[in-house]
Structure 1
Amino acid sequence: MLLGHEAFIGYSIDILNMSRATADEKILSYNDVVLRRSDLDILSGPYFLNDRIIEFYFSYLTSCYSSEDILLVPPSIAFWIKECPDVASLKDFVEPLHLSQKKLIIFPINDNADVSMAEGGSHWSLLAFERNANVFVHHDSSGGINGAHAKRVYRTVVSYIASSDAKYVECSSTPKQVNGYDCGLYVTAIARAICDWYQSDGLKNLEDLWFSTIKEQITPSFVSKMRNDMLELVRSLMAKQ
C-alpha cells in the first residue's frame, strides 16, 4: 500500500530520528572521553577529525607517556584559553593545569573563533612548549594558516608557563598535508612523535628539538596508516569494555 503524503513525511522523520540516535550512540568510554558511533564513522572514512577524536587520542597518549612532566591539553580547554572573553576568570581556569610545573605542553589549535559554535572550525594545527629550550613551536600542516590562532594561545599562556622571554617559532619544515581533511591526523601524529622524542632524546638534543624526527616520520602514507591504526585502537578498546 502506498503511503499518503503526511504518512510518508512522518515515516521519513522516524527514519531520520533513528539514524541520528544511532549516530549518537555511545560506543566507548575511555578515561574522561566518550566516543560515539558517529566518531567511528569519521575514522572509517576520509573525514575531518572532530574534537572528541583528538581528545580521545590525547588521553590515550597521556596513558602511554605517563610522565608528570608532559601535558596534552584537550581541545576544549585549548579553545577556551584562546577565546575566553574574560581575562580575569581565565586565571582560575588555567591555574589547575599547573602549567608552570610541566616540561612539555602540547595544545591542539583550531581556527574556530566563535564560542557559541560547538565543533566549529575547519583546520587543526599544534602548538608545543618545551621548557628546557624555553620555546613555543607551532606546527601547521597547511603552511601556517593557523598562525594567528596559535599566537593567541601563546600570548595568553606564556605568563603562566614560562618567563616572558619564551620564544614563539613557526616551524617551516612541518610536513604538509596533501588533502583538505587530514590536518587533525597530522596533529595527533606530530603529538605522538614529540612525546616519543621527549622520552627518548629530549634532554640530549635541544638545538634541533624534535624537528628532524617529525620530518623523517610524518609522511602522507604514515598519516593515512595512522587513521586505520586509530580506528583499530578504538575497536580493540571497545572489545575490552
Structure 2
Amino acid sequence: MDPVVLSYHDSLLRRSDVALLRGPHWLNDQVIGFAFEYFAAERFTALSGAACFISPEVTHFIKCATSPQEVATFLAPLELPARRWIFLAVNDNRHHAAAGGSHWSLLLYRADERRFSHYDSQAGCNSPDARRVAGQLESFLLGAGRRVSVVEEPCPAQHNSYDCGMYVICNTELLCESVGTGDTPRLGTDTITQDYITRKRAEWCRLIQSLAGG
C-alpha cells in the first residue's frame, strides 16, 4: 500500500513521494511538481500573471513534442507569451515516457531579455536537454523564425548524486524571492550549501504535513 498523503490542486503526493524528501534520495516528478504548484498557488501569488511554473511532466512533453503546432495547442491555455518569467524543471530523460532520467536542472525564460537562463547544479550536464526545451518554445513565445539564446548561469553546485531536484526547488524559490527587491531575478552562488539543502528538505516535509492537516 502507498496511501495518498496530500492532494493539492493538480498534485498528488503519496507516502513514497514524501519519503524521498527525507533523503538521501533523488526527487521525482511528483515532489518537484508539488513545489511548483505551491509556489504558484501560495508562496508567490504576488507574481501571479508575471510568472508561470511549468511542471516536470509538461516540460517533458514540450521537449518530446513532434511539432510546433503540438506545443502551441497544448500550451495555449497557459498564456505563456504574456508572462515575464517562465520556470521549467528540466530532466535528462530522452525517452517519451515521462518517468525516468537521473538529473534535474532549472530553465528560466526571461521575456524582457528574450533569453533563457539555465541553472544546472552539475555544471551544464543538462545543457542539451535545456536547449531542446528552449528550441521547442522559441516560435511559440516569439513567433516563427525567432531565435532565443540559452545562457549557462553561475549556479550553486551539488556535492552528491541525488540533490539536483532540491537545487531546482531552492533555486526557483530564491530567484522568485529576488524579484521582491528588484525587477530581475538573480541567484547568488554561495547561498545554497549542503546544510541549507538538508534544512529545506525538512521544511518541505513539515509543510506537506501541515497542508495535509497532520
What is the TM-score of this pair, normalised by structure 1? 0.82
TM-superposed CA distance for 1:122, in Å, is 0.4
Given residue 175 of structure 2, which amino acid in structure 1 is its aligned partner?
I
Matched, 1:30 2:16: no
Paired position in structure 2 for 1:93: 74
- Equivalent positions of 1:1-20 (< 5 A) are none
What SS is found at the alignment partner of 1:76? Answer: helix
CA distance in 2, matches of 1:90, 1:55: 19
Paired position in structure 1 for 2:142: 162
CA distance in 2, matches of 1:98, 1:87: 16
TM-superposed CA distance for 1:142, in Å, is 0.5
TM-superposed CA distance for 1:86, in Å, is 4.2
Question: Which residue, out of 196, 199, 221, partners 2:195?
Answer: 221
CA distance in 1, matches of 2:75, 2:111: 18
Q: Structure 1 unaligned segments of length 5 or more: list them.
A: 1-20
Q: CA RMSD in A?
A: 1.6
Percent identity of equivalent pairs:
33
Given residue 154 of structure 1, which amino acid in structure 2 is its aligned partner?
A
What CA deviation, in whole Å up to 9, does each residue of 1:136-163 have, x standing for no partner?
1000001111000000011110222236
Matched, 1:183 2:159: no
What is the TM-score of this pair, normalised by structure 2? 0.92
TM-superposed CA distance for 1:166, in Å, is 3.2
Matched, 1:65 2:44: yes
CA distance in 1, matches of 2:171, 2:36: 11
Alpha-carbon contact 1:131-1:162 (below 8 Å) kept? no
Given residue 90 of structure 2, which amino acid in structure 1 is its aligned partner?
I
Paired position in structure 2 for 1:234: 208
The 4+ residue runs of structure 1 with deviation greater than 4 A are: none
Q: Structure 2 unaligned segments of length 5 or more: list them.
A: none
CA distance in 2, matches of 1:86, 1:162: 16
TM-superposed CA distance for 1:220, in Å, is 2.1
TM-superposed CA distance for 1:198, in Å, is 1.9
Alpha-carbon contact 1:51-1:75 (below 8 Å) kept? yes
Segment of structure 1 superposing worse, 159-168 or 48-57: 159-168
Structure number with larger C-alpha Rg = 1
TM-superposed CA distance for 1:46, in Å, is 0.7
Segment of structure 1 superposing worse, 55-64 or 154-163: 154-163
CA distance in 2, matches of 1:96, 1:44: 35
What SS is found at the alignment partner of 1:217? Answer: coil
What CA deviation, in whole Å up to 9, does each residue of 1:82-127 have, x standing for no partner?
01234432221122221100001000000011113x4211000000
CA distance in 2, matches of 1:165, 1:135: 9
Paired position in structure 2 for 1:127: 107
TM-superposed CA distance for 1:165, in Å, is 4.6
Paired position in structure 1 for 2:85: 104
What SS is found at the alignment partner of 2:13? Answer: strand
Given residue 53 of structure 1, which amino acid in structure 2 is its aligned partner?
V
Paired position in structure 2 for 1:56: 34
What SS is found at the alignment partner of 2:33? Answer: helix
What SS is found at the alignment partner of 1:215? Answer: coil
Aligned length: 209
TM-superposed CA distance for 1:187, in Å, is 0.1
